């Protein structure tokens, strides 16, 4: 799998720390803005990447590039993915896939027409512990309550309060707490339980963007609340509560390094009252597992697997779109 990267921000630097560990993946090109040329030249030299570009259209003409990894600001995902698909390249796009559901539905149809694989780079879906938790859900009995809190005081929030317009808090760039942090909670819930019946989002809104908010999802037989905040912090916690026991997670949904299973006293599945800590992840980077899967998916042209993952992305973006609508948050991409 020969990859051309679009973007040179923090997530790309993160990606480059482990990319060499992924068997079957070769980085052949890096593309960013003309203003970042000096930076990407250094990045290419440091990571043995053959070519660098300051224009995606030119990079897409490179026959060595088979797969495009889109890692640019949120509002540019749709445009970059569309260009890559029309050029006949497979696409791996950073979360959130697109700014809204309409954009993603168009990209899915376009990928189908052009017979390319298009998937979202969201680590939550591919982590060993996500799969293990799904296996253990039946032991909890009937699920009653699910809660997930990912609150992290943003290093950019003080500047935002002072009046600066920053991508993370810019509705024109599809920013906000929902799309940055709470999207991981949504991804985990959708991976485990699928599509909810109803969605509602109560947000703290400043200058047209949600700096924090509470998302409620109605699954009929149980209720779910997802909290994401960039203007305050709290211990990260996710709890899946059933009438026979619960699973508790104390790390973010995008890393999920471990979890505990606590069974009700007297239950046939009773465990230690303190809970037995179960961890199936290894010491690999949180993004490692998804890229191992992407190599396999693309090398084997496993469109069935790709479509399955697209369905999770579609539900996630539909929830985010409905959530913003319920809170009155409008992105430039919605107009």
Q: What pLDDT, on a 0 to 100 scale, did the predictor assign at position 282?
A: 59
Q: What's the confidence (pLDDT) of residue 281? A: 55
Distance between CA atoms of 238 and 256, rounded to whole angstroms?
10
Tens-binned pLDDT, residue by residue, of the chain (335 aa):
999 999 999 999 999 999 999 999 999 999 999 999 999 999 999 999 999 999 999 999 999 999 999 999 999 999 999 999 999 999 999 999 999 999 999 999 999 999 999 999 999 999 988 988 999 999 999 999 999 999 999 999 999 999 998 899 999 999 999 999 999 999 999 999 999 999 999 999 999 999 999 999 999 999 999 999 999 999 999 999 999 999 999 899 999 888 888 888 754 343 333 445 555 555 789 999 999 999 999 999 999 999 999 999 999 999 999 999 999 999 999 99
Which pLDDT belongs to residue 262? 87
Q: Work out whether strand 223-229 and strand 245-249 pair parallel, antiparallel, or are unpaired.
A: unpaired
Tell me whether residue 44 is exposed, middle or buried, using C-beta atoms within 10 angstroms of its C-beta: 0 to 12, 13 to 18, 19 or more: middle
Q: How far apart are CA 174 and CA 206, in angstroms?
A: 14
Q: Are strands 223-229 and 209-218 parallel, antiparallel or unpaired?
A: antiparallel
> How much is the pLDDT for 274?
44
Query: Measuring CA to CA, how many Å separate 135 from each of 58, 129, 132, 199, 322?
Result: 45, 10, 5, 26, 29
The predicted structure's pLDDT at residue 214: 99
Domain boundaries along the sequence of the chain: 2-120, 125-287+317-334
Class of domain 125-287+317-334: alpha beta
| CATH of the domain spanning 2-120, picked from 3.40.50.2300, 3.30.565.10, 3.10.20.30, 3.40.50.720 | 3.40.50.720
C-alpha pair distances (Å), 234 with each of 162, 183, 204, 225, 261: 23, 17, 16, 15, 22
């Amino acid at each position: 799998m020969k990859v051309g990267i679009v973007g040179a921000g923090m997530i790309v630097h993160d990606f480059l720390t482990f990319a060499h560990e992924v068997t079957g993946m070769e980085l052949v090109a890096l593309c960013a803005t003309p203003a970042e040329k000096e930076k990407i030249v250094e990045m290419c030299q440091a990571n043995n990447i053959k070519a660098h570009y300051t224009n995606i259209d030119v990079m897409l003409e490179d026959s060595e590039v088979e797969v495009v990894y889109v890692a640019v600001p949120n509002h540019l995902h749709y445009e970059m993915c569309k260009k890559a698909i029309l050029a006949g390249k497979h696409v791996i796009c950073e979360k959130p896939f697109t700014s809204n559901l309409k954009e993603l539905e168009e990209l899915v149809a376009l990928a189908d027409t052009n017979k390319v694989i298009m998937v979202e780079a969201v680590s939550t879906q591919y982590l060993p512990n996500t799969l293990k938790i799904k296996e253990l859900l039946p032991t909890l009995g009937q699920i009653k309550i699910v809660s997930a809190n990912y609150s992290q005081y943003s290093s950019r929030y003080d500047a935002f309060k002072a009046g600066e317009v920053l991508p993370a808090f810019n509705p024109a760039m599809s920013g906000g707490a929902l799309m940055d942090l709470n999207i991981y909670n949504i991804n985990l819930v959708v991976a485990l339980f699928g599509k909810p019946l109803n969605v509602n989002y109560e947000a703290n809104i400043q200058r047209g963007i949600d700096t924090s908010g509470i998302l409620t999802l109605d699954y009929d037989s149980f209720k779910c609340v997802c909290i994401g905040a960039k203007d305050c912090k709290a211990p990260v916690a996710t709890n899946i509560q059933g009438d026979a026991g619960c699973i508790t997670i104390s790390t973010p949904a995008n890393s999920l390094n471990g979890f505990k299973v606590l069974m009700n006293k007297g239950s046939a599945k009773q465990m230690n009252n303190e809970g037995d800590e179960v961890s199936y992840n290894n010491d690999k980077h949180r993004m490692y597992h998804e890229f191992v899967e992407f190599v396999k998916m693309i090398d084997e042209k496993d469109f069935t697997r790709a479509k399955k993952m697209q369905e999770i992305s579609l539900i996630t973006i539909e929830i985010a779109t409905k959530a913003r609508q319920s809170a009155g948050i409008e992105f430039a991409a919605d107009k």
